[in-house]
Chain A
Amino acid sequence: MNRKKGKEEKRILQLENKRKTEELNQARKLQLSMLPKDIPSLSNLDIAVYMKTATEVGGDYYDFHKSDDNTITAVIGDATGHGLNAGMLVSVTKGLFKNLAKQTFVNNIFSQFNESIHSLNIQPMYMSLHLLQIKGNQMQVIGAGMPPMLYYQSSTGSVVEIESSGPPLGGFRNFKYEKCDYKLMPGDVLVVMTDGFAERRNNAKEILSGIKHQTSDQIIEQFVEANDNWGEGNPQDDDITFVVIKVK
């Protein structure tokens, strides 16, 4: 009798595992379907992207919008959680980005992101996000809850960290996020990354100090190699995403 009961419990457990695996696969598919199929091509910028997803469904996201006047707006972000909820928050963020990316005042874009995500009330889910808008050699940057963005300035050969101006989006209603403005020069490199790579920031700065003659793809290759060496075969707990933009 007990043996029969044990078999039945095992069968139910297997079915439950199968269902959960299927659910995670669906969440992963949803997350990946949110990413752009093509990277925009511009005469003055070399853009490359890398994403390595973790076993557990993370919530990394990147996207681009190119306006008729060749203004490029890029976002890279990370939903502060895992699983189906993270996938849902990413899809909401993508919807907002599609509607807001055409605007030119990035403080306003962020206020609207923050208000919309806050009003969803899917706590404890929030969205960390960096947004860059580049028109010619003018760049506006604004960040929420993201690790610092690395900016290699070719004129001085130095790397500066551009920090977020506030907490993840959706956490605090009416929070005032402030943008920073920069004038880009040929040879400058911007590296935006999610926190899956946070432990490697020192390595990242070292890599960036020697990239004068490399393309964005080659820079990414070096980051990936550094990451793999550091990880020593241990499982990856969180998604890792980079966007590298080099000014031509």
Chain B
Amino acid sequence: MEVKITENINAVIIKLQGELMLGFEANDFQEAIRNCIEKNKKNVIVDLSALNFISSWGIGMLIHGYTTAQNSGTSFKLAAVPDMINETFRKIKINNIFQQFDSVEDALRN
């Protein structure tokens, strides 16, 4: 699992690659969200296009990211969610909690 972080003027984009499973990625992910809030950026965009699998731990990490961002008035958006991951979200009823966009570009525009 890799966490790749890029920034632009309004957003921090966190790209998760591989399998979100064991929890060692949490620090990078949470730090990116904290940085985004501290720098007063308006959006956290999590790019899931290269994610193959998500465990319950990964779901917990996304929920935590979402609540941290929301509590500080920052938007938390998911981009390019693969069908298989979205099916997992749907089965545990979190698909409607997250704002979802087809691509990072769409998420930046909206």
A: residues with CB less than 8 A from B are 56, 78, 80-83, 123-126, 128, 144-148, 163-168, 171-172, 194-195, 198, 237-238
Contacts and interface: CB of A to CB of B under 8 A. Distances in A.
B22 A168 contact: no
Given A123-B67, A124-B26, A148 B91 contact: yes
Given A124-B30, A167-B97, A80 B92 contact: no
Interface of B: 21-23, 26, 30, 55-57, 59-61, 63-65, 67-68, 88, 91-94, 97
Contacts of A172: 63, 67, 97
A195 B63 contact: no
Contacts, number: 77
Contact of A124 (B22, B55, B60, B94): B60
Contacts of A80: 56-57, 59-61
B92 A146 contact: yes
A164 B52 CA distance: 22
B92 A126 contact: no
A238 B21 contact: yes
B63 A164 contact: no
Residue picked from A80, A144, A194, A195, most chain B C-beta under 10 Å:
A80
A171 B21 contact: no
B92 A168 contact: yes
B55 A238 contact: yes
Residue picked from B21, B57, B91, most chain A C-beta under 10 Å:
B57
A64 B30 CA distance: 36
A168 B93 contact: no
Contacts of A147: 91-92
SS class of chain A's interface: helix, strand, loop or mixed?
loop
B63 A171 contact: yes
A81 B23 contact: yes
A145 B64 contact: no
5 contacts: A82-B22, A123-B64, A147-B91, A171-B67, A172-B67
Nearest to A81: B57
Given A81-B23, A147-B91, A124 B56 contact: no
Given A167-B97, A237-B21, A238-B21, A128 B56 contact: yes
Nearest to A60: B56
A124 B91 contact: no
Contact of A168 (B21, B59, B68, B88): B59
A171 B56 CA distance: 12
Contacts of B63: 124, 126, 167-168, 171-172
B61 A124 contact: yes
Contact of B64 (A124, A144, A237): A124
A56 B22 contact: yes
Nearest to B65: A124
A145 B59 contact: yes
Given A80-B60, A125-B60, A126-B64, 4 more contacts: A144-B92, A163-B92, A166-B92, A198-B88
